[in-house]
Amino acid sequence: MAATIDNSDAVQATKRKHLGIPEAVFVEDVDSFLKQPGNETADAALRKLDEQYQKYKYMELNLSQKKLRLKSQIPQIIQTLEILRHMQKKKETTAPMQTHFMLADNVYCKASVPPTDKVCLWLGANVMLEYDIDEAQALLEKNLSTASRNLETLEDDLDFLRDQFTTTEVNMARVYNWDVKRRSKENILKKLLFCLAPHCFPLWHRGELQLIIRDEEAL
């Protein structure tokens, strides 16, 4: 019997919480945030936040790929364990086990397997090892436990990562809105300063204060 086992993700233990994903700090005071080193201007701060956002996107892609591999690996391990348990029951008998094996895609052939206490497991990288059924079952149960635990950790990390996405997006929106208000105030101030010049005077018209520029040449 042969089964393929990919240990690259299943045996990897979590080194630290959330795999070292940096936590995005909520920007409560934009003025104080822009006084920090590297945030001298709103554009610089937005570029910095966008770089952080892109790093989160890369982490999400990497973790999602690992999650897909584990989700495809776990059913294979479970199926192989079921076969091993069936072989464990049959090894004490003399009757051969009737089964099918795949010759090609969608092409199967009947096979008669005599009782045996040995199985071969694919370990990956074109490596196959022979095990006793008990040893193979213990190995697969360990790999299944590790893969299930790592899958839970990955799902938790992805949830944490989505929170960092939201926080970073909110921070970018707050900095952008702050910059829009700042530019608006500067434009208003420039207009007011311009209207204090001798060639301009205020006029109240239809309930609104309008600034009318006087053409000195026309006077």
154-176 tens-digit pLDDT: 999 999 999 999 999 999 999 99
Q: What is the pTM of this model?
A: 0.67
Instruction: Please check the confidence at residue 214 and state whether its pLDDT lies above 50.
Output: no
Instruction: Please check the confidence at residue 201 and state whether its pLDDT lies above 90.
Output: no
Nearest residue to 1 (alpha-carbon basis) of 104, 115, 92: 115
The domains located in the chain, with CATH, are: 2-10+22-188 (1.10.287.370)
- CA separation for the pair 134, 137 (Å, rounded): 5
Which pLDDT score is estimated for 99?
A: 83
pLDDT in tens, 26-45: 999 998 998 888 888 899 99
Q: Which residue did the predictor score with more confidence, 188 or 207?
A: 188
Which pLDDT score is estimated for 116?
A: 83
Percent of the residues in the chain that have a pLDDT greater than 70, as a whole number = 77
